[in-house]
Amino acid sequence: MSAAARPREADSAARKAPVPAADRWGERRAPVRNAIVLVASLFALWQIAYWIVGDVALRSPWQTLRYTALTLTHTHLFWIHLANTLEAFALALLIAVVVGLLIGFALGLHRLSGEAMEPMLVALYSIPKITLYPILLLAFGLGMSAKVAFGAIHGIIPVALFTLNALRGIKPILLKTGRVLKLDSTMMIRSILFPAAVPEIFTGLRVGFSLTLIGTVLGEMFAAQHGLGYLLMNAIGLYNIDVIMSVTFLLVVFAAVVNAVLLGIDRRLHFRG
Amino acid sequence: MRVAGTTPGDHANAAPKTAQRARGTRAWAVTLYQVAVIMGFVVVLEVLCLTGVIDKITMPPPHRIVVDFVKLLASGKMWPEIGKSMANVLLAFVLAYALGIGIGTALHGYRTLRDTLDPLFATYYAIPVFAFYPLFIVMFGLGDGPQVLIGVLLGVVAVIVTTLNGLDRVPAVLRKTAAIARLGPLQTALRVTLPFCAPYLLTAAKLALAYAFIGVIGSEFIMARTGMGYEIGFAYTNFDNATMYPLILLILLLSVGMNGLLTRWEKILLARRGMR
């Protein structure tokens, strides 16, 4: 390097040097602090809403927590519904991930197919899929399989779309390297395409996770005899606000916590790439 | 970093005719592919229905759905429901869009507030907003309010995030110019920064519209007394396939059509700015 560049380097090093430990600490703590402030404000808003609306239609955060911990989770029926939802969700997620990855890879490896199908997938993504639920119900009958299918169709499209775009966004030099090394297509996928596309694919899985959960619960809300969605709709019929608040709270917390964890992994993967 | 000569646009400048022709054939191939996929899908369904693999109670053959579709629209009995749903979709869209752009623009200047809200934005779409619908029904009654509210809640955050994204890309020189012209914050937003973000705002419109549709029709479907979503649910419980399938087709056509229109507009806008 030339002499002119050296002072600048030294300068920037000096600027960074004096407060590295404390500064980095603060930076790392900032997201945690933000999250705490955010959660606290959301609880405060909830409490204020309760003060305004009153007992007719809402419960306070404290009442909801107490009901969830002391009453809801002590009923046998709740655990049956929860197990049912989790089973449907797990199956739906498995199908969504496998089928989504297969579609994404098939379209990502063939350029014309990718270009033609991407706008169609985006269009499918934007339709209110709930209107397709009656078709699934007629095809699968009322029960587990319709719910699983409905959850899966919510998740398949984002997983496929993100995978497709991940493969398309791979740097050409990586592909050329693979070709120079004369890799066959399985080796190419295993040692070049997949590792290079992992961060984006993971983002797709994260989005797919959320949407599959929404799809599964939504399916239960419209037509089911088991599951948390059914519990919610049943509670409306019985005007049981405690149950509505508790189940909604549990669903939101579950979705938010899992998403936060996945988001952390997601960011780390992207950062590494 | 992009190297000159590697983007399709640069190629077009170097050799306009061949590149244009190549792109034209490619576009044709893509369109042909898409038409073939849709036609293939319809034909397979038709064959499966006619041969009885899919029985009549599950699904009428596609040509029957089209006939029923025309009949249903001609009979006129669905128009009030369609009008009602679309009015709610439009209301939810306008509210989510205006609120989202307003909040996004206001938020852009406040770094700390934005950092605090960032985890909320990142987690927001993981939250099953529909789970709040029962709560809203209890709070506001079984009317249009909860449906529109769900549509707005689904859409507004997408608009905020997209607006922030667009505002982040405004070059500093534009802000400086606005400052030199002594524009206030509102004037700067309305005359300089937001017009610069037009492509982003169009993307936001697309998202808000899709979410308004999903929110309103979905809510009607779960629990309501009127609207297209409700009619589909009603037809389902009565095994009325002659009403259910045409309505589903109508909703698919409406949402895909509106989305397509906005996408086309977006492409024109981006092309004019040389961004695509």
B27 contact A CB<8A: no
For residues A210 and B125, the answer to whether their CB atoms sit within 8 Å is yes
Sign of CA pseudo-dihedral A247, A248, A249, A255: positive
The H or E element spanning position B134 is helix B133-140
Q: Where are the alpha helices (DSSP H) in B141-276?
A: 144-168, 172-180, 185-188, 194-196, 198-222, 228-237, 241-272
* Residue that has been written with the tokens 């419960």 in this structure: A59
**Contact across the interface for A247 and B37, Cβ inside 8 Å:** no
Surface-to-core class of residue A18, CB atoms within 10 Å of its CB (0-12 exposed, 13-18 middle, 19+ buried)? exposed
List the single residue in B with minimal CA-CA distance to A36.
B116
Over residues B73-132, the pLDDT tens digits come to 888 888 888 999 999 999 999 999 999 999 999 998 888 888 888 888 877 887 778 878
B27 falls within a domain? yes
Write out chain B residues lying below 8 Å of A37, CB-based.
Answer: 116
* Cβ–Cβ below 8 Å for A213 and B34: no
Of the candidates B118, B232, B256, which has its C-beta nearest A134's C-beta? B232
Pick the residue from chain A with its C-alpha nearest to B230. Answer: A131
Q: Let me know if residue B62 belongs to a domain.
A: no
**Gap between the Cα atoms of A154 and A130, Å rounded:** 9
Q: What is the C-alpha separation between B213 and B149, in angstroms, rounded?
A: 12
Tally of domains within chain B? 2
Euclidean distance between the first and the last CA atom of chain A, given in angstroms as a whole number = 27
Query: ipTM value of the model?
Result: 0.75
Cα–Cα dist B167/B200, whole Å? 9
Q: Are residues B82 and B124 in the same domain?
A: yes
Residue B59 lies in a domain: no
Same domain for B90 and B17?
A: no
Considering CB atoms only, which of B29, B218, B247 is closest to A112? B29
Same domain, B196 and B266: yes
The tens digit of pLDDT for each residue in A87-98 reads 999 999 999 999
Are residue B73 and residue B179 in the same domain, yes or no?
yes
Left if phi > 0, otherwise alpha if psi is -120 to 50, otherwise beta: which for A239?
left
Cα distances from A261 to residues A25, A209, A254, in angstroms, run: 20, 12, 11
In this prediction the pTM is 0.80
Residues B23 and B158 in one domain: no
**B137 & B249 share domain:** yes
Residues B30 and B161 in one domain: no
* Burial of residue B114, with CB atoms counted within 10 A of its CB: 0-12 exposed, 13-18 middle, 19 or more buried: middle
Whether A145 and chain B come into contact, CB under 8 Å, resolves to no
Q: Specify whether B85 is located in the same domain as B202.
A: yes
Q: Is residue B195 assigned to a domain?
A: yes
The answer to whether residues A121 and A161 touch, using CB atoms and an 8 Å cutoff, is: yes
Residue B150 shares a structural domain with residue B14: no
Alpha-carbon distance B103 to B167, whole Å?
12
Rounded distance between C-alpha atoms, residue B206 and residue B144, angstroms: 22
The one-character DSSP state at B126 is: T
Same domain flag for B171 and B220: yes
pLDDT of residue A24: 53
Q: Which tens digits make up the pLDDT trace of B226-263? A: 888 888 888 888 888 888 899 999 988 988 888 888 88
Q: How confident is the model at residue A187 (pLDDT cuts 50, 70, 90)?
A: confident
pLDDT tens for each residue of B31-67: 888 899 999 999 998 898 888 888 877 888 888 889 9
Measured CA to CA, the distance from residue B156 to residue B122 in angstroms comes to: 13
pLDDT number for residue A27: 59
Q: Kindly state whether residue B218 falls inside one of the protein's structural domains.
A: yes
Average model confidence (pLDDT) across chain A? 83
* B173 occurs within a structural domain: yes
Both B20 and B89 in a single domain? no
What range does the domain containing B108 cover?
68-272
Together in a domain, B223 and B255 = yes
In a domain, B164, yes or no: yes
Structure token pair of residue B19? 């590149």
Q: Is residue B254 part of a domain?
A: yes
CATH number, domain containing residue B157:
1.10.3720.10
Residues 91-110, chain A, touching B (beta carbon < 8 A): none
Evaluate if residue A15 carries a pLDDT over 60.
Answer: no
Kindly tell me if the per-residue pLDDT of B16 is higher than 60.
no
> Residue B9: CB partners within 8 Å, gap ≥ 6?
B274
CB neighbours (10 Å) of residue A145?
A: 14
Nearest of A70, A21, A49 to residue A242 by alpha carbon: A70
Alpha helix segments (H runs only) across A127-181: 133-140, 144-168, 172-180
User: Could you say which residues from 172 to 191 on chain B have a Cβ atom under 8 Å away from some Cβ of chain A?
Assistant: none
